[in-house]
Amino acid sequence: MVDCGSAIVIWDSASLYFWLSARNPAGSSNGTLSLLIARAAALAHERGLVFDTDGFGSHRSGAFLAKFGFAPVVRPYVSHGRAIWKLCHVVSSALRGERDDRHYRF
């Protein structure tokens, strides 16, 4: 038997993250990724966790994940900002705590 694909999933008390996947192009089809995602989603469901793919890079990827019945959640990231915005973000996060709907990449 040849391994056709594998995935690394990481979880905590709230979410299961589909972190990394790989497949053997010689011994698998495109269905291998679908099976890996379906199994990871089932594991998240069994454990009562949110299934998180950490976003997708294109509309095709979003359409692919929608076929599994996943509802996309918008998590905007700020990639660039002035120093004053960075300061406001740090102060606001310290006072109010981190928010799931706002992220900043330093």
Spell out the residues 6+ positions from residue 25 whose beta carbon is closer than 8 angstroms to its own: none
Q: What is the average per-residue pLDDT within 95-99?
A: 73
Alpha-carbon span 94 to 88, nearest angstrom: 10
Each residue of 29-67: pLDDT tens digit?
A: 667 888 888 899 999 999 999 888 876 767 787 788 888
Please tell me the predicted confidence (pLDDT) of residue 46: 95
Same domain as 45, residue 84: no
Same domain as 93, residue 55: no
**Domains in the chain: how many in total?**
2
Same domain as 57, residue 93: no
89 pLDDT tier (thresholds 50, 70, 90): confident
Closest CA to 55 of 36, 73, 42, 40: 73
Same domain as 18, residue 42: yes
- Residue-number span of the structural domain to which 68 is assigned: 1-73
Same domain as 15, residue 66: yes
- Lowest-confidence region among 15-19, 21-25, 41-45: 21-25
Same domain as 84, residue 59: no
Same domain as 83, residue 67: no
Same domain as 59, residue 88: no
Please tell me the predicted confidence (pLDDT) of residue 88: 81
